[in-house]
Amino acid sequence: MVRILKSLLLSLAAIVAACDRSPEAKKNAPIDNNVQESWTALELNYASTFNATWQGDFWVVDLKASIASWGGEANGPEQAARVLLVPHSSQVPALEGPFQGAEVIRTPVNRIAVNLAPFEAMLTALDSDQTLVAVGGAKSYNDAIRQRALNGELAKIGYGWHMPPTLDALLGSEPDVLLMAMGDLSHSRQLDRIRDLGVPVLPLFIDSEPHYMGKVEYIRLVGLLTGKNSEAKAYVDSIEQKVQALKKQAAAFSPTTMFSAWYSGSGRWMATVRNAEATLLRDANGKNLLEEPDDLRRDVFQKLSTESLILKAAHAECAIMRDSHSQPFRDEKTLQQFQAFRDHCVFAVDGMNKPNADAFDYYERAIIRPDLILKDLVHMLHPELRTDKSFNYIRPDTDLYE
């Protein structure tokens, strides 16, 4: 009861404070990303949707990205935000000039709400998962986190792929910050309301990163939040080293023609054509017959008819034709038109999952372990490298031949 009353009081106070804000200042909350020359930038090699600079007493984080719809493109303007990560030992600066309208988050944070599974994996990788107070739901691949959600120890606020956070559950968890992903542009409308109710929000555009290592670098932000900057940097450096070694290994072989597409029903396939997913295929030394130019305003997938898939990729040497989203496809006559099927080089993204929990690590820890995905792809495309322990997430699709 005390916690509920406290939450209500905080909410009322935040609403009153919001009434005193300048409407123009709130309208212009996304501030330009120009920073002072004296500020020290956080070293990032891949991330393009955020940057962070040390002002001397606190971090200034700028985020900007287009939010593309599932299998489509962005249908609105870029979303942008400026956030100040201010240590508890430092004074909060005046929110004017370059900081007008900026969100303030005190660090290190002790209570974190997330609405996307990769953020759970980031906190776990930094040994900071004990700070979690709210998650998207009880579909975590991490048994301990899933059990905490099932036991009611963690609030369930809804996954960002499908919906904006559920306000009652979010407020009840009393987070110091919400790490909020937005699967659709419409979810951004909830962001200001959550802030007005007293919950600081750090919008994260991880799905808009054009390179898979840019997604990994989001752990640097989590490191700044939790006071584990050096650990986060070491983590990224370790993944980068593994990725570079695999790219070098793959480059020693001739490119292998291939494609990746999963069946969505009604004669339609969701094909990997651009951005982060297509980059993984390239780095494995695969020649993606469906590849199109990268485009930050478009999703990695594109819908193709069965006829178009056959026309473009029938002669591919290898293929990924199924994942956890796929509808069953057993048309033997159609499959026989693909060389990859005839040569038994068809793979599925069905490893590292817990069907009884509806939990798939490919959408959780794998986001910050692209080296494991790249290893699967390298071994898929270059069979000379395969061993009994070659595959984690992407494995030979033996079910398709039964």
Check whether residue 293 and residue 157 sit in a common domain: no
Which residue, 208, 243, 270, sits at the end of a domain? 208
Cα dihedral 225, 228, 230, 234 sign: negative
Q: Is residue 132 part of a domain?
A: yes
Q: Are residues 10 and 125 in the same domain?
A: yes
Full-model pTM: 0.88
What CATH number did the domain enclosing 51 receive? 3.40.50.1980
**Rounded-to-integer distance, Cα 325 and Cα 12, Å:** 42
Nearest of 56, 119, 118, 55 to residue 82 by alpha carbon: 55
Please identify, among 177, 208, 239, the residue that sits at the C-terminal boundary of a domain.
Answer: 208
* CA–CA separation, 199 and 156 (whole Å): 16
Is there a domain that residue 51 lies in?
yes
User: For residues 42 and 128, what is the distance between their CA atoms, to the nearest angstrom?
Assistant: 21
Contact (CB, 8 A) for 114 and 332: no
pLDDT in tens, 225-282: 999 999 999 999 999 999 999 999 999 999 999 999 999 999 999 999 999 999 999 9
Work out whether strand 132-135 and strand 112-114 pair parallel, antiparallel, or are unpaired. Answer: parallel
pLDDT classification of 11: cutoffs 50, 70, 90: very low
3 state SS of 59:
strand
Given this model, what pLDDT does residue 39 score? 82
Q: Are residues 82 and 165 in the same domain?
A: yes
The strand pair at 346-349 and 394-396 is best described as antiparallel
Residue 93 lies in a domain: yes
Total domains present in the chain:
2
User: Band of the pLDDT at 190, cuts 50, 70, 90?
Assistant: confident
Residues 193 and 258 in one domain: no
213, part of any domain: no
**How many Å from the N-terminal Cα to the C-terminal Cα in the chain?**
57
The answer to whether residues 25 and 126 belong to one domain is yes
Asked if residue 104 belongs to a domain, the reply is yes
Task: Please indicate, yes or no, whether residues 89 and 183 belong to a single structural domain of this protein.
Answer: yes
> In terms of domains, do 47 and 194 share one?
yes
- Same-domain pairing of 261 and 203: no
Q: Are 102 and 48 part of one and the same domain? A: yes
Q: Name 58's Cβ contacts closer than 8 Å, sequence gap at least 6.
A: 84, 85, 86, 87, 90, 93
Q: Give the structural domain span for 355.
A: 251-401
Is 15's pLDDT higher than 50? no
Residues 86, 201 within the same domain:
yes
Establish if 240 belongs to a structural domain. Answer: no
Alpha-carbon radius of gyration of the chain: 22
Say yes or no: 164 and 65 in one domain. Answer: yes
Torsion-angle region of 352 (φ positive above 0: left; ψ -120 to 50: alpha; else: beta):
left
- Domain-embedded: residue 304: yes
- 84, 61 contact by CB (below 8 A): yes
Residue 22 and residue 158 in one domain: yes
